[in-house]
Amino acid sequence: MAARLKLFVDWYNKRLQQGLRNAGSFTLPTFFQGDVIPMQVYLLEPDPDDGPTTFSKVDISNIALSMAVGPTPVGNAAETPIATQYTWSKNTTENYFYADLALNTAGVGTLLGATANATAYLEIQATEGSSITTLIQQQITIKAEVIEAGSLSVAAGATPLSLEVAQQMFCLKRMGAGETLTFTSPDGLRYLIKGVDNDGAERSETI
């Protein structure tokens, strides 16, 4: 998906850079309350065999990624994140993680309050076995939205529907990995479940 926000993380130096072959510093963009941001994260490390400014992608096969946004962290108190993404899909061929970061949370609204913008921190953490490594922690700006979810209107007598509810009710153009479709018999007593196995064979089960 070309529209993902692509983050190239030099985990060794704890910084974001422009790309795999461009070590220039990358500044996170301004974020907006209510947005659901598709992200693509690459983990990079210096490749000393090809020179001091050359990087290679880290093999992410056995790595889990976590991302959180929260208020200014302090050492003597447990701050509650205002937005999190702890479940990431992987492309192990190209070695990147991808997921959506939702800023449509109550925590974001609380942070903003009646102000137009607020400062927060975005943190990315990697877990591999028993090792836990904070990859980056950077200050970001979150701005209040103009088109708020609560301001959307529908015709009289109609019921507004959230994106989260719609995703649970309707089939996507491409279902998620391992997901199936369920068909119900007219009497409501039988179900036909269809899916696909890893070898490409159709999986069909009647219950």
Give pLDDT tens digits for 111-160. Answer: 999 999 999 999 999 999 999 999 999 999 999 988 776 555 555 566 66
Model pTM score: 0.71
User: How confident is the model over 51-61, as a mean pLDDT?
Assistant: 85
Residues 6+ apart with CB under 8 A from 55: 10, 17, 20, 21, 23, 44, 45, 46, 47
Residues 27 and 76 in one domain: yes
Q: Please say which residue of 98, 119, 145 terminates a domain.
A: 145
Tell me, yes or no, whether 155 lies in a domain: no
Cβ neighbours around 95 below 10 Å, total: 17
pLDDT at 3 over 90: no
The count of structural domains within the chain is 2
Instruction: Give the total residue count for the chain.
Output: 207
pLDDT of residue 153: 56
Cβ neighbours around 180 below 10 Å, total: 13
Give pLDDT tens digits for 159-187. Answer: 666 666 676 677 777 777 777 888 888 88
Residues 104 and 177 in one domain: no
Residues 126 and 32 in one domain: yes
Question: Using the 8-state DSSP alphabet, how is residue 58 labeled?
Answer: P
pLDDT of residue 149: 60
Domain that holds residue 185: 163-206
* Alpha-carbon gap, residue 33 to 102, rounded angstroms: 9
Structure tokens at 203: 């999986």
Tell me, yes or no, whether 169 lies in a domain: yes
Q: Are 177 and 196 in contact (CB under 8 A)?
A: no
Residues 6+ apart with CB under 8 A from 54: 21, 46, 47
Tell me, yes or no, whether 151 lies in a domain: no
Give pLDDT tens digits for 60-112. Answer: 999 999 999 999 888 777 778 999 999 999 999 999 999 999 999 999 999 99
